[in-house]
Amino acid sequence: MIFDLNNRASMTHIRDFFTNNSKTISFILISVLLFSIYLVHSKDAFKREPEAYWSSYPVAMESDNPIRQEISIKEAEILSISIKVGTYESTNEGTLTLTLYEDDNVIQQWTRDTSLLVDNEYAVFELDAPYLSNPDHRYSFTIVDHYSESNAIALYDSQDNSEETVCYKVNYTNRSYQRTVVMISVTVFLALVILIIKKTNEKILMIFVVLSLGLAYFFVCPLGIAPDEQTHFWRAYEISHGHMVSQHVYDDGIGGNTLPSAVKNFNDESSIIDWNNTEVIEFGNTSLYAPVNYLPQSIGITIAELFTQRVSLVFYAGRACSFLLCMTLCILSIWIIPFGRKILFMIMLFPMSLQEMISMSPDGLTISLSLFLISYILYVSYSPSKLRKRDYIIITATCLLLSLMKIVYVVLLFLVLIIPKDKFNKQRNSAIFKTGLVASAFVLNLIWLTVSSGFLGEFQPGVNSSEQVKYILLNLPDYLIIVIRTTLEEGLFIISTMIGSNMGRLTISTTGIIWVVYLIMFVYTVATDNESINYHKQDAPIMLLVFFTCVALIYTSLYVQWTALKNEIVRGIQGRYFTPVLPLPALVASRLTKGTATSHTSCYYFVLLLFLNGVILLDIINYTFLM
């Protein structure tokens, strides 16, 4: 009877535990499920089958005459060997034997019926089990054709390197890299789960996730991955050496400069900067950018060159300084914005936003600055105190810097109209400050436009900027139809690439469902992130006016500079161009809703965002990973 009573008490205690902690337990189970899916997805992310050397012509094989080929491979798990063969479209009778060696020891041997081989295709020989290679050993394979009469089997020769080789590919997995990534992922995942269970302040959670994912993108994304990142590097490099304005390197006015030849080989770790070995390098598309776009990058480059002349390290240093400033601005934005914090947080965590923030491209800094400007203006607008001297300085500096990033974003300065007049010591100070700020920004842009106009060139065939401007002014209704048609035809592409459906130079197709889930989450966040606050009436119309004006300028600038005359749609539109102004309509839309997200939903919110970006990072690794 005593046993029964104790047993009943134990069962009651267990039942009470699960009842009282049901939400925590369900959160842990779902989080573990998501992480398990991530681990399954990671299994193939580290597999690599590099492109073989260019194959020139097939060489017929002689019976029982082995051909030996050395394999160059670092520490990895070998999965298969692929040999390009030719059959001259004949039906062959015989066998092909492939033997893989470590030094002189046989790893595995395959025998293939030659009648099964396909002309001008790779014959794949898979290992029974992955074989871990050792950089201290030599690896090779021999291939032998066995036939009694005539046979038409040939091996393709390759002459892309200094010696002739058999045209082959080695499929392998880098387990060391995989283990490192998985261990770091486990650590970040567990840390986030523990922080959530301990009910850590939401701001701290956001900062932890932003920093963790930012660092992950920084170390995973190879140099040159972002659109035009190499030309951004060259522009930042010339600025770091005092050339604020590029040179006209050719008669057509293309921008560029005379730089060390080594800066073109930034992915070569042995490449060393040597000013005795220089050449003219063109970067007309980035010569148009004002020097402030590359202020952090050039500072990083300057510091790095005090210690090293390795191009890859100098490149990483430029990236690091830009990334540090972007993260600082994002953290400050999270901390100070009075409402809409989750909306800004999600935009920061767009995979495309993070990729730009860790790159040499000024687009990342533009996104960060715009988020900070929006946050700070809302912060001072809804603060109970009046503007202080430091508020004037911060707003002025941010507005002027942002206006010089890209001229289309100069309209973001009009967000200062949101600041109520009663926030100023005197009402006339409001008009003077706002008018003076906008006027100063336009003057600065006109000065730089005058300087950079000499670098304006036609980057696309059929483009005639001056005629395009005339066409727009004389045919505004037709141009409006072009804008609407472009939006309808390219709308899905704009939204998906803004989030991260295509990473890198838009050549890395990521797991399709990820951006869709992210979009659903973003819409849900906008619909539920309404906070109890007395909104100022002027906010919504000003935000929407700034948003639509900026969108119109983006369309028009691309139509003028990148689109053939009178083309029926605007060319060159990419989603990331709209990211700096995306918070504006999102914040307005959030005010129209009534509901608010619960803290329990927020738990899944953070873990899911970490999971989605984790899958994107695996997709990038799978595409870009090199031994």
Using one digit for the tens of pLDDT, what is the confidence trace for 62-72? 888 888 888 87
User: How confident is residue 342, by pLDDT bands cut at 50, 70 and 90?
Assistant: very high
User: Cα(274)–Cα(311) distance, rounded to whole angstroms?
Assistant: 10
Question: Mapping DSSP to helix (H, G, I), strand (E, B) and coil, where does residue 104 land?
Answer: coil
Strand partners, 169: 82
Contact residues for 155 (Cβ-Cβ < 8 A; gap 6+): 58, 59, 61, 67, 83, 84, 85, 86, 143, 166, 167
User: How confident is residue 481, by pLDDT bands cut at 50, 70 and 90?
Assistant: very high
User: What is the per-residue pLDDT across 217-243, written as a single tens digit (0 to 9) for each?
Assistant: 999 999 999 989 999 999 999 999 999
For the record, the structure tokens of 251 come out as 């008669």
| Residue-level pLDDT at 188 | 93
Contact predicate 167/55, CB 8 Å: yes
* Furthest CA-CA distance within the chain: 103
Q: What is the CA angle 250-256-259, rounded to 5?
A: 115
**Residue range 445-470: mean pLDDT, rounded:** 72
For the chain, the residue count is 627
User: How confident is residue 46, by pLDDT bands cut at 50, 70 and 90?
Assistant: confident
Single-letter amino acid, residue 154: A
User: How confident is residue 620, by pLDDT bands cut at 50, 70 and 90?
Assistant: very high
Residue 333, Cβ density class (10 Å: 0-12 exposed, 13-18 middle, ≥19 buried): buried
Crossing angle, helix 476-499 and helix 465-474, to 10 degrees? 120
CA distances (Å), 43 to each of 38, 70, 177, 600, in order?
9, 28, 12, 31
Residue pointed to by tokens 């803004």:
498
Per-residue pLDDT at 584 exceeds 80: yes
User: What is the per-residue pLDDT across 345-371, written as a single tens digit (0 to 9) for each?
Assistant: 999 999 999 999 999 999 999 999 999
Sign of CA dihedral 187, 188, 193, 194: positive
For the domain covering 51-173, report its CATH number: 2.60.120
User: What is the per-residue pLDDT across 525-546, written as a single tens digit (0 to 9) for each?
Assistant: 898 876 667 788 888 999 999 9
User: Cα(201)–Cα(187) distance, rounded to whole angstroms?
Assistant: 20
User: How confident is residue 259, by pLDDT bands cut at 50, 70 and 90?
Assistant: very high
**Residue range 327-351: mean pLDDT, rounded:** 95
**Residue range 269-282: mean pLDDT, rounded:** 90
| Residue-level pLDDT at 36 | 87
User: How confident is residue 598, by pLDDT bands cut at 50, 70 and 90?
Assistant: very low
Strand partners, 121: 85
User: Cα(623)–Cα(509) distance, rounded to whole angstroms?
Assistant: 9
* Residue 580 backbone dihedrals phi, psi, to 5 degrees: -60, -25
Identify the CA nearest to 563 among candidates 454, 490, 455.
Answer: 490
Residue limits of CATH 2.60.120 in the chain = 51-173
Q: Of all residues in the chain, what percent carry a pLDDT higher than 70? A: 89
Q: Where are the beta strands (DSSP E) in 563-625?
A: none
Per-residue pLDDT at 205 exceeds 90: yes
**Residue range 14-31: mean pLDDT, rounded:** 69
For the record, the structure tokens of 470 come out as 């005339």
* Residue 216 backbone dihedrals phi, psi, to 5 degrees: -60, -45
Highest mean pLDDT among 124-133, 148-157, 250-259: 124-133
| Residue-level pLDDT at 303 | 96
Give pTM, 2 decimals: 0.86
Contact residues for 513 (Cβ-Cβ < 8 A; gap 6+): none
Per-residue pLDDT at 420 exceeds 80: yes
Per-residue pLDDT at 567 exceeds 90: no
**Distance between start and end Cα atoms, the chain:** 68
User: Cα(421)–Cα(381) distance, rounded to whole angstroms?
Assistant: 9
| Residue-level pLDDT at 460 | 56
| Residue-level pLDDT at 600 | 43
Highest mean pLDDT among 44-53, 447-456, 465-474: 465-474
